[in-house]
Chain A
Amino acid sequence: MGCGVMTAAAAALTPSPRSFGSRLSTYFYLRPRLLLMLFLLPPLLWLGIVYLGSLFALLAQSFFQVDDFTGQVIYEPTLGNYARLFGAVNLSIIGRTLAMAAIVTVICGIIAFPIAYYMARYATGRTKALFYVAVMLPLWSNYLVRVYSWRLILAKEGVIHWAFNEMGLGWLLDWMLSLPVLQGSSLSTSYVGTCVTFVYIWLPYMILPLQAALERVPRSFIEASSDLGARPRQTFRKVIFPLAIPGVAAGSIFTFSLTLGDYIIPQLIGSSRPFIGQAVYQFQGTAGDIPMAAAFAMAPIVIMAIYLSLAKRFGAFDAL
């Protein structure tokens, strides 16, 4: 009798036959870590071997040298490339690129902040969608086309020179282009033009993270600050800006590192003095000196490492 009840209960507990797919999902549902591993393995392999591996191979190259005579790489460890890197000419290339990256980043930040602030705090519905499209739209068109367009805009015959002349302000542009560092025959052959183009091209990369950071600041924080006696300027300094810092940091990492590595904009627009990207391009291409190009490629990596550690020290990532 008791035995019969047992059998019936056991029969009731036997799972009904199910399809392979449903058994598979149950298997993974009960082992979430295994599933995570399966999903992560391919990108980790890619990142670990293909990406980091080739990066290290490149860096290893920087410790070899090219025989001037034969053009062959001599596989003997040497710091010769780095000694050359710290020569006056190469240092000035690095300094020029660094200064440009810093200026572009600051200008991007200044232009992006009000736009991002408006998008995050005031724009709703259609206006917000419109702003998103306006910020992203340039990213949908070809980079080279946009840079060439700027060359036309900035040229002596371009719209900016024309507009200044029409307004009787041509002398202002001429005066600016006669200044020591900024000099050029037109905006398109001056550092000013390079900077304008960089700012234009990288601006979306500053606006979007800033907007995301500002969006996470609830309205009640701003109300609380003014309720406690803070004027709008104080509220901005003490509450809004500190909470936007992670966005500023993220955006500046984009604009800064992208400017450090770019070789097309300074090639097409600006004075003919080279930037890091162009130097790398020339060493590995025209000169066939891969080891020296690799040594040059170290510069942006080291600069970014320093930049990130400084940003971390000042608490830029505390809110992450």
Chain B
Amino acid sequence: MPQPSIAVSFRAVSRHYGAVRAVDEVSFDILDGEFFAMLGPSGSGKTTCLRLIAGFEQPTAGLVAIHGRDMAGVPPYDRDVNTVFQDYALFPHMSVRENVAYGLMIRKVPAAERAKRAEEMLAMVKLADFGARKPSQLSGGQRQRVALARALVNRPSVLLLDEPLGALDLKLREQMQVELKAIQRQVGITFIYVTHDQGEALSMSDRVAVFNQGRIEQIAAPAELYEKPRTEFVAGFVGISNLLQGEAARAATGAARACSIRPEKIHLAPAGAAAPGSAMRVEGEVESLLYLGANTRFDIRLPGGGYLAVVQQNRDAHYAPEQGSKVTLWWDARHLMTFGG
């Protein structure tokens, strides 16, 4: 099988605004046809990276290449890349159809073909009957689809999505995640997806880059990112933060190294209960509990001042402690993630 070619590559790319290093010597490659998420808190540099690919920003240093071509000094309108904007940026004075056909009109595609391709795209995003409307007559979710159709109609080699689901409500967001993934499989082009929502990043992407303060902490497939975070930041940002440090870490594991354990990996048992031979165990007290429907989250106070969250499926006759109960926590030693020295 041939090696997939590289769609976008960053080589020691920096973007500084005065003294602020929005992007700080970042290097990575995005493969052709990949669904690649850039995840991080606001101000971590993920959006700036997206804008560097789109061409709205130029790097202070380093090299950005798209399909092996150096993009230094290439304006957005000469790049084979299209963007879905966070605020959708639909042109209010044009109909939905004119919005979708805008890129084709600019590239002087003949009117008949233009209309046909715009209709096809509108059908793909399930807005076939909305072509004559103005963007102001659409709901947020519909506008989001128009923005997607307007970008995809140009058949770019790379599609950039800047927090496209940020403005939608939860149900719609989940539905759009499924649809986006399906559309990406259908059109087969590279999707680069910026988000601060770890759930979105994990559920849709082939690989995720976690950004922090202008640098990339880790690039990995979702499962690896979750199960084997390389840094404390990644462990804390992806999934529920269950970080133990210093005394608390020593009390739970016997060593003072910072460590973390995913909440669903921890078993709850009555105080003093024995754990299987290979397991690590610690005693604690239920500080609070949250009933979440499918599961229940317990926050357990440990000796040494630490806390661990435990998430337990509400399946059947489990041990279900109450607030204030003394409990035993145990987990398989291989699930413990340790960081630093």
Q: Which residues of A contact B (CB under 8 A)?
A: 218, 220-221, 223-231, 234, 238-239, 242-243, 318-319
Contacts and interface: CB of A to CB of B under 8 A. Distances in A.
A243 B93 CA distance: 7
17 contacts: A218-B89, A220-B89, A223-B54, A226-B75, A226-B76, A226-B77, A227-B76, A227-B77, A228-B82, A228-B102, A228-B151, A229-B103, A229-B107, A230-B102, A238-B102, A238-B106, A242-B93
Nearest to A243: B93
A229 B91 contact: no
Contacts of B82: 227-228
A229 B106 contact: yes
B150 interface: yes
Interface string B263-299: 0000000000000000000000000000000000000
A179 to B, nearest CB: 41
B106 A228 contact: yes
Contact of B56 (A223, A228, A242, A318): A223
A224 B89 contact: yes
B83 A229 contact: no
4 residue pairs, one from A and one from B, having the closest CB atoms: A228-B103, A224-B89, A220-B89, A226-B76
Contacts of B107: 229
B339 interface: no
A228 B76 CA distance: 8
B92 interface: yes
B91 A239 contact: yes
B87 A231 contact: no
A227 B92 contact: no
B106 A230 contact: yes
A273 B85 CA distance: 58
Given A228-B82, A229-B106, 14 more contacts: A218-B89, A223-B54, A224-B91, A225-B91, A225-B102, A226-B76, A226-B77, A227-B56, A228-B77, A228-B102, A229-B107, A230-B102, A231-B77, A319-B93
Nearest to B87: A220
Contacts of B54: 223, 227
B44 interface: no
A229 B56 contact: no
B338 interface: no
Contacts, number: 61
B154 interface: yes
Given A224-B85, A228-B82, A243 B102 contact: no
Contacts of A238: 102, 106
**Which of A231, A238, A242, A318: most chain B CB closer than 10 A?**
A238
A213 to B, nearest CB: 12
B48 to A, nearest CB: 14
Contact of A319 (B56, B87, B92, B103): B92
A118 to B, nearest CB: 20
Contacts of A234: 106
Contacts of B103: 228-229
Given A220-B87, A234-B106, A228 B93 contact: no
A254 to B, nearest CB: 23
A223 B93 contact: no
B88 to A, nearest CB: 8
Interface in B29-44: none
Contacts of A221: 89, 91
B93 A227 contact: no
**Which of A229, A231, A319: most chain B CB closer than 10 A?**
A229
Contacts of A230: 77, 102, 106
Contacts of B55: 226-227
Contacts of B93: 242-243, 318-319
B83 A224 contact: yes
A227 B150 CA distance: 11
Nearest to A234: B106
Nearest to B76: A226
